[in-house]
Amino acid sequence: MTRFNVDVIAFDLDGTLIDSKRDIAESLNLTFNEVGYASLSMETISSYVGNGIVPLVQKAVAKAGHPEREQEVLELFRSIYWERLLIHTKLYPGVMDTLETFSEKYGMGVVSNKPERYTKEIVKRLGLEPMFGDQVYGGDSLPVKKPDPAALLKVAEKHGASPSRLLFVGDGSVDVMAGKNAGAYTVGVTYGFRSVEELEKAGVDRLIDNFDELLQVVEKK
């Protein structure tokens, strides 16, 4: 198996580093309960995750049949989810040990479409901040978000690397497209929120079933 020869590795957050399905779904359904809407399934809500909170809420209220209340639901969801960020959310198996191994030899960053405030709080409270430092980007950190490559290019620049020496790891097509737009290699995780078919259709370079498989995907330094 050919390994990727890179200097920097960046990661999506939800569905890649963390399993946040339950907290997001419960927060949205608590929001819906407040405004009198019927709950949605965790699977439905998870399928809406990946492009940020606004698209998530847009799709959810459209599904509920009340798109005219989008802004009200959005503000309420933001408040409720902030209080429930880490009730059930946890790192996927192998994430901490793998990241600690990589941090010794590679520059690293997080690039999420989740708002920066939530992204940085989760990274901090799960003990990942020492490995990523200031290279944690949310969907509102810059004027653009994934699939625009701007944040990935920032991570590469911070670590003094060419984008061609960058690997981006994610669970959805938006991550694959962002990586390709940056000129980086891409790895898709099959255990995340999105389907293998979606990743393959986007043209992902490699698929892994477990996070620690990344240790066999990246060229050893």
Q: Which residues are catalytic?
A: 12
Give the H/E segment covering residue 206.
strand 206-208
Q: At residue 201, what is the residue type?
A: K
Tokens found for residue 31? 């929001």
Q: Which token pair is 93? A: 């198996």
**Which runs of consecutive H residues, i.e. helices, occur in 40-109?**
42-47, 53-64, 70-82, 95-103
Among 118, 100, 142, smallest CA distance to 20 is for 118
> C-alpha angle with apex 117: 113 to 120, nearest 5 degrees?
80
Q: Which of 76, 81, 75 is nearest to 27 (CA)?
A: 81
Residue 218's Cβ-side half-sphere holds a number of Cα atoms within 13 Å equal to 28
Peptide bond just before 147 cis, omega within 30 deg:
yes
Residue 3 and residue 61 in contact, taking contact as beta carbons nearer than 8 Å: no
- Strand spans (E) along 75-196: 90-91, 107-111, 136-137, 166-170, 185-189
H/E segment holding residue 207: strand 206-208
